[in-house]
Amino acid sequence: MRLLRSPSILRFTALGVAGAFIGVGCLDESMLPNAERRAIPQEARQQAPEKIVNSAPLPAGQYGVQSVNYDDATGSYKMFLLDTPAGAKPMFQSNDVRMARIDDESLTQGKKSYVEFAADGAPTLYLTPDFQIAYTHNVTEEQVDPATGQREVVVVRQETSSWSPFMSAMAGAAIGNMLFAPRYYFPPPYTPGMMSGYGGSGMTQTMASQQYAQRFGSEPQASRISKTGVAPRRASADSIRSTGRGAGASKFSKPSGGGFRKPTRSFGFGRRR
Amino acid sequence: MGLFSRKRYAVATLMVAVDGRLKALLPALADATERIIESEDMDVASEQVARIAGALLEYESRLTAVASWGQVFTREEDAGLYGDEVFAECAGRYLSSGLEADDEDDSLARAALPPPSHEGGSDRTGSDRPGSDRTGSGQASSRALASLDLEGTHIVVMLTVGYEGTVPELEKTVSTRDDVAAALSAIRALHHKQALALAHIHYAPGHSNEVLTDDQLLVNYPELVTL
């Protein structure tokens, strides 16, 4: 029996994973596809996410990863870990995470996605090629704070999607063992629906950001915002999301180590975004 | 042998929007969620989901919109994984209070019981938790709540259930009041048959002194179809 609850202190969290499931059952005319989010009027704008406080690293070693969320305003990865030692929280968050694809030999041995903490605390995500990172896309604007008169970056809309960095090698990117050595990655420019591959990679965040800029003409959003800083978030009536709570339990069995759910003879019913 | 004994596992989510002026609902939702968290028991989760389904049936006339979706699996583990993903996805539609312990969250919920419509006050009957101290904090939050305009606000409840076999009322496009009533009844029936293998509740807003606005409803629950 597994207990689930929000807030996100236990292992299952408030992450959007939209885009991974598609209902194909009876389509009602009254349920029209709704991929476009409404823009939020100025009055109801949400402040951009607060300054990211990276979690304290876990003891050196490997920990299975249940799910990962990437936020493109802060460039931070929020991951839910399995088998954390007693006293350590299963949620780990950092904007300083390298990634690598699990090599083929380990894949054939059934290795699942995991994070490895080095002795100095540096985390590296090792992912299977089909691992989907839940992607939170922040549409931002520069606005002037009426109270202080300062220009600040503000999130005006959020969308969730998914990103598989190692799903398909980008043209010209996979040279030799490059994909298997840990590097810093930036996702490709945001598109709704599943994104695969990456927009920039490098041995340092700066190099990854520069490679992205070479390809797409400007630095990724997370790099730009981290230089100027973001306004603090208030969970108030101005937020795009209201507050809420949830809890639940399940006695379905689960495969150990988590990982990607293989689509079986399943079909959706009703209509989902 | 395999063909005829093929098992079938379904995980279905029913999402309803309720008129935000229905004040009795949020305390009931808070209580149900609290019981699940405290007990960490599947039977309790099943019972609370059925209880909330029953409450929604009772307030059926106050339901304003509905949506439902789900998936069917032949492997139990896949249903289990999908159930976890659905939980995370539903939770992503609201801001969790992000507190370490339950205590702070719940004392706020208990203190913020909605006041009677004509006056704020500490004497209240009905939907209270026994033993909760409401004198001081009750007065203060009553004053705040008395000024809270619930007109045009909403409450959203998401119930996710998992079971083996087939339940047509939960596996069809739910778009009319009859559909919703049938789906809620089907959830209660599953509980009474002790057939629920997965039971989740989500609701928003998280406290009686907060609201869910039209804009927030449209953005975070776009699947809803007006009843």
pTM to 2 decimals? 0.49
Neighbours of B221 (CB within 10 A): 22
In DSSP terms, A162 is beta-bridged to A134, A194
Q: What is the pLDDT of residue A51?
A: 53
- Per DSSP (E only), the strands in chain B are 9-19, 63-73, 154-164, 198-204, 225-226
Residue B184 or residue A224, greater confidence:
B184
What pLDDT was estimated at residue A193?
77
List the one residue out of A139, A242, A229, A250 whose CA is nearest residue B208: A242
Interface of B with A in 1-40 (CB under 8 A): 9, 12, 29-30, 33-34, 36-37, 40
* Chain A interface disruption, residue of B3, B89, B106, most A CBs within 10 A: B89
Cα B140 to its chain centre, rounded Å, is 27
Whose structure tokens read 């950092």? A94
Chain A nearest CA to B9, separation (Å): 9
Q: Do the Cβ atoms of B225 and A9 come within 8 Å?
A: no
Q: How confident is the model at residue A33 (pLDDT cuts 50, 70, 90)?
A: very low
**Spatial contact of B19 and B64, defined as CB atoms under 8 Å apart:** yes
In angstroms, what separates the C-alpha of A68 from chain B's closest C-alpha? 11
pLDDT at position A11 is 31
Find the mean pLDDT for residues B11-29: 94
**Do residues B20 and B154 lie in contact, with contact meaning Cβ atoms separated by under 8 Å?**
yes
Q: pLDDT over 70 for what percent of chain A?
A: 67
Of A8, A15, A272, the CB nearest to B223: A272
Q: What is the pLDDT of residue B126?
A: 39
Kindly state the percentage of chain B with pLDDT values over 70.
Answer: 75
Smallest CA-to-CA distance from B227 within B175, B172, B182, B191 is with B175
Q: For residue B131, count other CB atoms closer than 10 A to its CB.
A: 6
Where is mean pLDDT largest: A109-113, A146-150, B46-50, B71-75? B46-50
Least CB–CB distance from B216: residue in A17, A240, A250? A240
Q: Cα angle at B58 between B56 and B59, to 5 degrees?
A: 65
Please answer yes or no on whether A18 and B219 come within 8 Å at the CB atom: no
Strands A194-196 and A151-164 turn out to be parallel
Q: What is the mean pLDDT of chain B?
A: 80
Which tens digits make up the pLDDT trace of A41-56?
333 333 444 455 788 8
Compare B203 and A20 and report the one with higher pLDDT.
B203
Q: Report chain B's terminal Cα–Cα distance, integer Å.
A: 45
CB contact under 8 A, B94 and A266: no
Residue B209's nearest CA partner among B13, B27, B10 is B27
- Asked if B169 contacts B183 with a C-beta cutoff of 8 angstroms, the reply is yes
Average pLDDT for residues B25-47, to the nearest whole number? Answer: 94
pLDDT at A89: 83
- pLDDT above 70 for B135: no
pLDDT on residue A90:
87
How confident is the model over A9-28, as a mean pLDDT? 31
Position A1 scores a pLDDT of 78
Interchain pair A1, B41: CB under 8 A: yes
Contacts of B100 in chain A (CB under 8 A): 9
pLDDT tens column, A134-180: 998 888 777 777 777 777 777 777 888 889 888 764 433 444 456 67
- Of B37, B93, B95, Cβ closest to residue A247: B37
Among A13-17, A65-69, A207-211, the minimum mean pLDDT is found in A13-17
Residue that wins the pLDDT comparison between A267 and A126: A126
> Does B140 or A52 have the greater pLDDT score?
A52
Q: B109 pLDDT exceeds 50?
A: no
Q: Write the CA distances from B219 to A6, A270, B70, B149, B151, integer angstroms.
A: 20, 19, 21, 21, 19
Residue A230 has pLDDT above 60, yes or no: no
Of residues B148 and A38, more confidently modeled: B148
**Which of B86, B163, B202, B214 has the most A C-beta neighbours within 10 Å, making it the best mutation to test the interface with A?**
B202
Distance from CA of A92 to the nearest CA of B (A): 14
Residues A76, A85 contacting (CB under 8 angstroms): no
Among the ranges given (A22-31, B46-55, B78-87), the one the predictor scored with the smallest mean pLDDT: A22-31
For residue A30, the model assigns a pLDDT of: 32
Mean pLDDT (chain A) is 72
| pLDDT for residue A257 | 56
Looking at per-residue confidence, does B119 or A213 come out higher?
A213
